[in-house]
Chain A
Amino acid sequence: MKGQVFAITLVVVSGVATFIMFISTIDSLSLTRNRFYRDYRFADVFVNLKRAPESLKEKIQNVPGVHQVETRVSAYVKLDIKGFSEPVTARIISVPDDGKPLLNRLYIKKGRLADPAKDNEVVVNENFALAHGFDPGDRFAAIIHGKWKELTITGIALSPEFVLIMRPEAMSPDFKHYGILWMGRKALSKAYDMDGAFNNAVLTLYPDAKLSDVLAQLDTIVEQYGGYGTYARKDQISHRLLSGEFQQLQTSSEIFPTIFICVAAFLLNVVMSRTINTQREQIAALKAFGYNNLDIGIHYAKLVVLIISPGLIGGIVAGIWFGKMLGGIYMEVYRFPQLIYTLHPGVIVAAVLISIASALVGTLHSLWRAAKQPPAEAMRPEPPAQYRVTLIEKTGIGRMLTQPSRIIARNIERKPIRTFLSIIGIAVACATMISSGFFKDAVAFMVNVQFVLSQKEDMKVAFTEPTSRRALYELKELPGVHHAETFRTVPARFKFGSRSYKTAINGIEPESRLHLLLDTDLNAISLPPSGIVLNDYLGKFLGVRAGDLLTVEVLEGSKPVRQVPVVALVKLYLGVMGYMDVTALNRLMREGDAVSGAYLVTDPLYSGKLYRNFINMPRVSGTVLRRNEIRNFHDVQAKGMLFFTFIATLMACSIAFGVVYNSARIALSERSRELSSLRVLGYTRGEISYILLGELGLITLIAIPLGFLIGYWLCAYIAQALASDLFRVPLVIETKTYALAAAVVLASASVSGLIVRHKLDHLDLVEVLKTRE
Chain B
Amino acid sequence: MIGKEGEPNNSGEVVFRVRDLTKIYAMGEVEVHALRGVNLELYSGELVVLLGPSGSGKSTLLNILGGLDTATGGDVTYRGKTLTNADERELTEYRRYHVGFVFQFYNLIPSLTARENVAVVTEIAQNPMTPEEALQLVGLTERLDHFPAQLSGGEQQRVAIARAISKNPEVLLCDEPTGALDSKTGIVVLEALDRINRELGTATAIITHNADIAGMADRVIHLSNGRITEIKANAVKKSPGELQW
Contacts and interface: CB of A to CB of B under 8 A. Distances in A.
Nearest to A410: B111
Interface string B90-109: 00111111010101110111
Interface in B58-88: 59, 63, 66, 68-69, 88
B119 A766 contact: no
Interface string A737-769: 000000000000000000000000000011011
A408 to B, nearest CB: 9
A371 B112 CA distance: 32
A277 interface: no
B92 A387 contact: no
Given A680-B101, A766-B63, A769-B175, A407 B95 contact: no
A684 B92 contact: yes
Contact of B95 (A404, A673, A682, A771): A682
A411 B112 CA distance: 10
Nearest to B147: A387
A719 to B, nearest CB: 45
A769 B110 contact: no
Interface stretch (A378-386, A572-580, A698-706): A378-386
A687 B95 CA distance: 14
Contact of B111 (A414, A683, A771): A414
Given A402-B123, A403-B120, A403-B123, A682 B107 contact: no
Given A384-B110, A407-B112, A766-B69, 9 more contacts: A384-B149, A406-B116, A674-B109, A680-B95, A684-B96, A685-B88, A766-B68, A769-B68, A772-B105
A718 to B, nearest CB: 42
Q: Which 5 A-B pairs have the closest CB atoms?
A: A682-B96, A677-B107, A384-B149, A410-B111, A682-B95
A769 B107 contact: yes
A674 B103 CA distance: 13
A386 B147 contact: yes
B232 interface: no
A765 B175 CA distance: 14
A773 B89 CA distance: 28
A682 B110 contact: no
A694 to B, nearest CB: 14
> Max chain B CB contacts within 10 Å: which of A387, A414, A678, A773?
A387
Contact of A678 (B66, B109, B148): B109
Classify the secondary structure of B's interface with A.
mixed
A681 B111 contact: no
Interface in A373-408: 383-387, 389, 402-404, 406-407
B219 interface: no
A387 B110 CA distance: 7
Interface of B: 59, 63, 66, 68-69, 88-89, 92-97, 99, 101, 103-105, 107-113, 116, 119-121, 123-124, 147-149, 163, 175, 180
29 contacts: A383-B149, A385-B111, A387-B110, A387-B111, A387-B149, A404-B120, A406-B112, A407-B111, A410-B111, A410-B112, A673-B107, A674-B109, A674-B110, A677-B108, A678-B109, A681-B95, A681-B163, A682-B93, A682-B95, A682-B96, A682-B99, A683-B124, A687-B124, A765-B68, A766-B63, A769-B105, A771-B105, A772-B105, A773-B105
Contacts of B123: 402-403
Nearest to A677: B107
A769 B69 CA distance: 12
A435 B222 CA distance: 70
Contacts of B63: 766
Nearest to A411: B111
Among A404, A678, A680: residue with most chain B CB under 10 A: A680
A771 B148 CA distance: 17
Contacts of A389: 113
Contacts of B116: 403, 406
A407 B147 CA distance: 12
A403 B119 contact: yes
Contacts of A386: 147, 149
A35 interface: no
B109 A677 contact: yes
B180 A772 contact: yes
B120 A681 contact: yes
A773 to B, nearest CB: 8
B107 A680 contact: yes
A679 interface: yes
B110 A681 contact: no
A384 B88 CA distance: 32
B30 to A, nearest CB: 18
A659 B114 CA distance: 33
Interface string A659-686: 0000000000000011011111111110
Given A386-B147, A406-B112, A678 B180 contact: no
Contacts of A404: 120
Contacts of B59: 770
Contacts of B121: 681-682
Nearest to B113: A389
A764 to B, nearest CB: 10
A681 B106 CA distance: 12
A681 B149 contact: no
A682 B124 contact: yes
Nearest to A768: B107
B212 to A, nearest CB: 23
Contact of A384 (B66, B120, B148): B148
Contacts of B69: 765-766
Nearest to A675: B109
A386 B175 CA distance: 26
A683 B68 CA distance: 12
Nearest to B98: A682
Contacts of A674: 107, 109-110
Nearest to B163: A681
A407 B116 CA distance: 10
B173 to A, nearest CB: 10
Contact of B101 (A407, A681, A684): A681
Nearest to A773: B105
A389 B104 CA distance: 27
Nearest to B117: A403
Contacts of B108: 677
A730 to B, nearest CB: 48
Interface string A266-302: 0000000000000000000000000000000000000
Nearest to A684: B92
A45 to B, nearest CB: 73
Contacts of B105: 769, 771-773
Nearest to B92: A684
Contacts of A402: 123
Nearest to B109: A674
Nearest to B164: A681
Interface string A408-424: 00110010000000000
Contacts of B89: 684
Given A386-B149, A681-B101, A772-B180, A406 B111 contact: yes
A671 to B, nearest CB: 9
A682 B124 CA distance: 8
Nearest to A769: B103
A683 B107 contact: no
Contacts of A769: 68, 103-105, 107, 175
B145 to A, nearest CB: 8
A389 B124 CA distance: 22
Contacts of B104: 769-770, 772
A429 B59 CA distance: 48
B52 to A, nearest CB: 16
Contacts of A414: 111
B24 to A, nearest CB: 15
A497 B123 CA distance: 77
Nearest to B88: A685
A224 B88 CA distance: 96
A772 B153 CA distance: 12
B175 A385 contact: no
A683 B167 CA distance: 13
- Most B C-beta atoms less than 10 A away, residue of A383, A406, A681: A681
